[in-house]
Amino acid sequence: MSDNTSHVPVTEWAPLVPELMVSDLAHSLDLYTRVFGFTLHYTRPGFAYLSLGRVQWMLEQAHPDKAWLTGPLERPFGRGINFQMVVPDLDALHARLLAESYPLFAPMTTATYLEGDTPHTQRQVLVQDPDGYLLRFTD
């Protein structure tokens, strides 16, 4: 990952962009782009900036001496958090996951969540990325 080429310019920066430490950046980047459907915007050594619809995402190669590590990285990474992402085409993503025989943490379901008395219904499928981060893709 020594390429600094801008593949697709970012036209508007999101106010919150998760940056995930990963154990194998090349492997994670392959899955995030080829299977999960993210667009690669740019890379620099040990780092990648991606998007999926309006979601913006960063991946960084983990190193034990990284100044921003708050503790040891032990799999599964990101315990206790799931990242919900509204994606442009949930059916296409689901088809790619099935075609790759990618393990589903939870199969495609329809869920209804209440906001006070207002129900919100969405379809969703959950997977773990190669390091165990839990990703909840919704429509």
Q: Is residue 70 part of a domain?
A: no
Token pair listed for 51: 């998007």
Domain residue limits at 128: 19-64+81-138
Q: Is residue 73 part of a domain?
A: no
Q: Is residue 13 part of a domain?
A: no
Residues 86 and 104: their CA atoms lie apart, in Å, by 17
pTM of structure: 0.89
For 99-110, give the DSSP string.
Answer: HTTPPEEEEEEE
Q: What is the pLDDT of residues 61-81, one digit of tens each?
A: 998 777 788 888 889 999 999
Q: Is residue 38 part of a domain?
A: yes
Residue (of 78, 31, 39) closest to 57 by Cα position: 39
What pLDDT is attached to residue 47? Answer: 95
| Residue 6 pLDDT class (50, 70, 90 cuts) | low
Q: What is the pLDDT of residues 108-130, one digit of tens each?
A: 999 999 999 999 999 999 999 99
Taking residues 15-35, what's their average pLDDT? Answer: 96
Angle at the Cα of 25 from the Cα atoms of 75 and 37, rounded to 5 degrees: 100
What pLDDT is attached to residue 67? Answer: 73
| Residue 10 pLDDT class (50, 70, 90 cuts) | confident
Name the more confident of 104 and 74. Answer: 104
Total tally of structural domains belonging to the chain: 1
**Range list of H helices, the chain:** 25-30, 90-99
